[in-house]
Amino acid sequence: MEAVIDIIAMFIGIYTLCVIAWALISWLPMLSPSLAYNDTVVTIRRFLDSIVLPWVRLFRFVPPVRIGAAMVDLSALVAIIVLQIGGGVLVAALRSVA
């Protein structure tokens, strides 16, 4: 049972890193338009979109915040916070049962 709990904890960590990478890649068109259309970057972005967007869309109700002239979408941040707290509670509950 301990191995299953460790796999769940590792999955939560990896998924959190995927959400962070997805958020950073979404800023590429603003930072470097030429990189935004690079074939490798597009492939990575499509892959991350396919695994991250179903989770992040659950938190699209959070309104974006204006920072200077840019609007910053906080749904990824809220998704990470919920994932970390919910995952931590789940792992702790599983460890206490096992």
Note the pLDDT tens digit of each residue in 73-98. 899 999 999 999 999 999 999 999 97
Own/partner pairs, 7-14, CB within 8 angstroms, 24+ separation: 8/87, 8/90, 8/91, 8/94, 9/87, 9/91, 12/83, 12/84, 12/87, 12/91
Write down the pTM of the prediction.
0.87
Q: Which residue has the higher pLDDT, 70 or 5?
A: 5
Domains in the chain, number: 1
Residue range(s) defining the domain that contains residue 88: 2-97
Residue 75 has what DSSP assignment? Answer: H
Note the pLDDT tens digit of each residue in 41-71. 899 999 999 999 999 999 999 888 888 887 8
For helices 2-26 and 39-56, give the axis angle rounded to 10 degrees: 120
Measured in degrees and rounded to the nearest 5, phi and psi for residue 66 equal -85, 125
Residue 68 is predicted with a pLDDT of 83
